[in-house]
């Protein structure tokens, strides 16, 4: 499906950073960016621009705070046409964390928010657009939102911000494709001046299928990551998305190269992807934090494989 207005966003360094406290070596980020630039992806998100008051820089790596200088080191010498994004968490970043657009390599600030923090999100999005950047608002944990509150938030976003996209974020990987339909229709009812985006998680192996469904239903911002690298079960794999899309500007080979050289070695250090604990979080529509704890256990710990016990515990929430 080739639709010129469709924007494919890679957020490997940003969402993947949730699995290693954003500690990617600079050379790895440079290589990933260089190859993504060759792949024709429309936007590359190079981490969070969150506050050092909210995250301890002694614990978290540079891509939790991604500075303009960090980005300049990444893009130096690379011929690129993609947009460059950073993410701010509505409740973990402040307006002052973002400087003026002059001389900044950032094109767009994506603000991730829970519905309850929508005022903070609009404040940060307006801070970005006032300073000359584009902005998007990504509504997280959509499957836990009371619909009346969602509708109010969407109305408020439409009236009070000037974003380019408003995202449905299936943080818990709980949505089926008919739910994606449902939320896109709901978003489109309120959001008239911005595109709709989707960011899917793979707890139920539906991230790619749900992203396709969203594309069919005219969502025009879609997120993927290299080999699905991302929190817990991970994200929609960018390589699958590019295989599906027929836009001739895309080139899969550099994506494969980046996976081989920069992503596969991470499998020795961190685990992401489908598993029974993540699957149970998805079908029960709960935060993956319990599943993340289980994955941190040693393989020798029999509790790691007490799936029946986990199913009972998660179902009691």
Sign of CA dihedral 89, 93, 97, 102: positive
> Least distance in Å: CB of 19 to a second copy?
17
State the number of binding residues for a second copy (CB under 8 A).
Answer: 38
Q: Which of 259, 266, 291, 314 binds a second copy (CB under 8 A)?
A: 259
> Least distance in Å: CB of 89 to a second copy?
28
When asked if residue 237 is in the footprint of a second copy (CB under 8 A), the reply is yes
Residue number, 2 or 244, with CB nearest to a second copy: 244
When asked if residue 251 is in the footprint of a second copy (CB under 8 A), the reply is no
The first and second tokens of residue 190, run together, are: 């309120």
Phi and psi at residue 88, to the nearest 5°:
-115, 130
Q: Using the rule CB under 8 A, give the single segment among 12-20, 45-53, 97-105, 237-245 that binds a second copy.
A: 237-245
> Least distance in Å: CB of 81 to a second copy?
21
Sign of CA dihedral 289, 294, 57, 64: negative
Q: Which of 72, 193, 253, 271 binds a second copy (CB under 8 A)?
A: 253
Write the DSSP symbol of residue 262.
I
> Least distance in Å: CB of 33 to a second copy?
18
What sections of the chain are H helices per DSSP?
12-16, 26-39, 68-75, 118-130, 147-160, 177-190, 207-216, 238-244, 252-258, 276-283, 289-296, 307-315
Tell me how far apart the alpha carbons of residues 194 and 116 are, in angstroms, rounded to a whole number.
21
Residue number, 105 or 273, with CB nearest to a second copy: 273
When asked if residue 301 is in the footprint of a second copy (CB under 8 A), the reply is no
> Least distance in Å: CB of 312 to a second copy?
8
When asked if residue 257 is in the footprint of a second copy (CB under 8 A), the reply is yes
Tell me how far apart the alpha carbons of residues 182 and 257 are, in angstroms, rounded to a whole number.
37
Site for a second copy in 177-236 (CB under 8 A): 177, 202, 204-210, 212, 227
- List the beta bridge partners of residue 169: 199
> Least distance in Å: CB of 15 to a second copy?
17
Tell me how far apart the alpha carbons of residues 271 and 244 are, in angstroms, rounded to a whole number.
26
Sign of CA dihedral 131, 136, 289, 67: negative
Phi and psi at residue 83, to the nearest 5°:
-80, 155
Cα dist from 5 to 8, 42, 188, whole Å: 10, 10, 16
Residue number, 24 or 278, with CB nearest to a second copy: 278
Cα dist from 211 to 174, 217, 240, whole Å: 13, 10, 10
When asked if residue 105 is in the footprint of a second copy (CB under 8 A), the reply is no
Q: Which of 21, 147, 160, 306 binds a second copy (CB under 8 A)?
A: 306
Site for a second copy in 260-299 (CB under 8 A): 260-261, 264, 273-274, 276, 279-280, 282-283
Residues engaged in binding a second copy (CB under 8 A): 176-177, 202, 204-210, 212, 227, 237, 239-240, 243-244, 252-253, 256-257, 259-261, 264, 273-274, 276, 279-280, 282-283, 305-308, 311-312
């Amino acid at each position: 499906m080739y639709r010129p207005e469709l924007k494919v966003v890679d957020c490997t360094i940003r969402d993947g950073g949730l699995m290693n406290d954003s500690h990617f070596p600079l050379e790895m980020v440079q290589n990933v960016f260089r190859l993504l630039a060759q792949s024709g992806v429309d936007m590359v998100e190079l981490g969070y621009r969150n506050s050092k008051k909210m995250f301890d820089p002694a614990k978290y790596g540079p891509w939790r705070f991604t500075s303009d200088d960090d980005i300049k080191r990444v893009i130096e010498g690379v011929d690129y046409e993609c947009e460059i994004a950073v993410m701010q968490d509505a409740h973990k970043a402040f307006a002052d964390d973002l400087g003026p657009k002059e001389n900044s390599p950032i094109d767009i600030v994506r603000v991730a928010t829970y519905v309850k923090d929508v005022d903070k999100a609009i404040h940060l999005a307006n801070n970005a657009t006032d300073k000359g950047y584009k902005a998007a608002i990504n509504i997280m944990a959509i499957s836990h939102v009371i619909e009346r509150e969602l509708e109010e938030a969407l109305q408020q976003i439409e009236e009070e911000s000037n974003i380019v996209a408003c995202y449905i974020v299936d943080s818990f990987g709980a949505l089926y494709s008919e739910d994606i339909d449902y939320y896109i229709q709901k978003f489109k009812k309120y959001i008239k001046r911005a595109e709709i985006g989707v960011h899917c998680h793979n707890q139920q192996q539906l991230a790619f299928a749900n992203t396709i469904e969203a594309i069919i239903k005219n969502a025009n911002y879609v997120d993927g990551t290299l080999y699905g690298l991302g929190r817990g079960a991970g994200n929609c794999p960018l390589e699958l998305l590019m295989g599906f899309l027929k836009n001739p500007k895309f080139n899969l080979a550099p994506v494969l190269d980046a996976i081989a050289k920069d992503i596969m070695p991470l499998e020795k250090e961190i685990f992401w992807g489908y598993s029974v604990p993540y699957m149970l979080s998805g079908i029960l529509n709960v935060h993956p934090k319990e599943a993340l704890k289980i994955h941190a256990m040693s393989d020798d710990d029999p509790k790691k494989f007490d799936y029946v016990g986990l199913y009972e515990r998660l179902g009691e929430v």
